[in-house]
Structure 1
């Protein structure tokens, strides 16, 4: 089902690109276009967990090709952006998760090191996005403001996946480096949970009734938190 859900919009994008090339290229320059990278990495991570590493590697390659092109949306950033601005972090951390997952599965050190670089880059992009995020969106946003928390969730998941890769028999970093990574991962998880409190309180204070396509972003952070997986990796018993 996930493969069908991914393939359908991918095919639609290709068909529209052929028929309405100018319009689709314009859409590719929007923050929402980065969902293509994020969706591909999520699918690749799941496929890797099923043991189909060659297919997961192909999806990693596709994501890596799309990522630098779509990340050009950073050039169009302005002040007071909606929550979609955090998708640059989500796409980058999605790549980190998939690369770290494959590194652990195939005992490939260079993939883990590449994932670590992407992990730190994703955090930098989060900081830049936060500086351009419109705080009023917390009370007025139509749903995509929840990506602010979801980006932290997938960042924590990326950190946890890197910790798992380090325990897979590869020598990737020393104990001090592992300690830093573990501390940052726990901090990201705590900040993510704090965001949930703020966002939920805002939803109760200012209910936003009615359907809006951007409401998918409200579900996204919950799925990305993956508390059990993160807790197992970083050793936080009270989260299990």
Structure 2
């Protein structure tokens, strides 16, 4: 998911070669994880079914949607629609199962119920823009509303101690805000004078206001989480650190997207800086993962 977000961000900044490299890497990682997913379903069905009730299962939906968005931005509508269908088919049962098994206090990974929903909204809105299909903006808007509701429910149950003791997935709270801002950006583009919803002038203005508020909240959450990392350092590698890299990349991507949507130059500069930070985090985490053979430092928390 982080690799796909970096590909989109590089593409928006005009770094076509880097974007292509990250897209290829993202596709390879997606294919390997999809194969592992199928093998586990075939040979470890009981374990697969148990893990399907935990929020990390929704990463498969979000990652598929992020890749689909990159293909939609490239104009590969057929591939984007195929990935959209696959993501929706997985999202419906997984979301229902995760929501049925959520606890009273949840870790940061629980925000994946929002991230996966908003990732679908981003992909649907991107397909709508690419194909000029105005009707697709309505299900995208519905998913944005649902994602916000899921964020509110998760926030009420979030264990604030994760800010001090979390192993990396507490950053997903920031990712949920950033990807929501990105989804609203796509809807604002659809309602712009040149978009398929060009007649929805009032909606365009309202979406711009909502998007800036959400982007501001995402950047504020990013700053708070950085302060928490400084106050309570967590230098050891844990597989959940990938849940830190993705929010960094997604916040950069949302910032760059809004610089385009709103025509604000300094947001593009800020987004570029954040993208470099995300790239550095991606590289450091990747090296640490290779050194540990991809094994987590401890058992993942799934409550």
TM-score in same-fold range (> 0.5): yes
Structure 2: distance between partners of 1:135 and 1:22: 32
1:146 positional shift: 0.4
Query: Which whole-Å deviations, capped at 9, do the CAs of 1:204-236 have from their partners, x for residues lacking one?
Result: 111112111000111111211211112221344
Q: How does 1:4-15 map to 2 (within 5 A)?
A: 4-15=28-39
Select which of 49, 70, 83 maps to 2:108: 83
- Secondary structure of 1:79's aligned partner: coil
Structure 1: distance between partners of 2:59 and 2:266: 32
Structure 1: distance between partners of 2:100 and 2:42: 25
Say if 2:179 is the partner of 1:144.
no
**Alpha carbons of structure 1 residues 10 and 173: separation in structure 2 relative to 1, 3 Å:** farther
Say if 2:60 is the partner of 1:36.
yes
Query: Which whole-Å deviations, capped at 9, do the CAs of 1:76-132 have from their partners, x for residues lacking one?
Result: 112221100100000000000000000000011121111111111111111111011
Select which of 78, 81, 85 maps to 1:54: 78
2:258 corresponding residue in structure 1:
230
**Alpha carbons of structure 1 residues 181 and 80: separation in structure 2 relative to 1, 3 Å:** same
Say if 2:119 is the partner of 1:94.
yes
Structure 1: distance between partners of 2:232 and 2:226: 10
Say if 2:52 is the partner of 1:2.
no
Unaligned 5+ segments in structure 1 are none
Give the TM-score of the pair, scaled to structure 2: 0.77
Structure 2: distance between partners of 1:53 and 1:188: 28
2:202 corresponding residue in structure 1:
176
Give the TM-score of the pair, scaled to structure 1: 0.96
1:173 positional shift: 5.9
Structure 1: distance between partners of 2:146 and 2:138: 12
Query: Which whole-Å deviations, capped at 9, do the CAs of 1:2-42 have from their partners, x for residues lacking one?
Result: 21110111111111101111110111111000000000001
Structure 1: distance between partners of 2:263 and 2:160: 33
For the Cα contact (< 8 Å) 1:57–1:102, is it kept in 2? yes
Structure 1: distance between partners of 2:186 and 2:125: 6
For the Cα contact (< 8 Å) 1:149–1:192, is it kept in 2? yes
1:115 corresponding residue in structure 2:
140
Q: CA RMSD in A?
A: 1.3
Q: How does 1:165-204 map to 2 (within 5 A)?
A: 165-167=190-192, 168-171=194-197, 174-204=200-230
**Alpha carbons of structure 1 residues 85 and 4: separation in structure 2 relative to 1, 3 Å:** same
1:172 positional shift: 6.1
1:219 corresponding residue in structure 2:
245
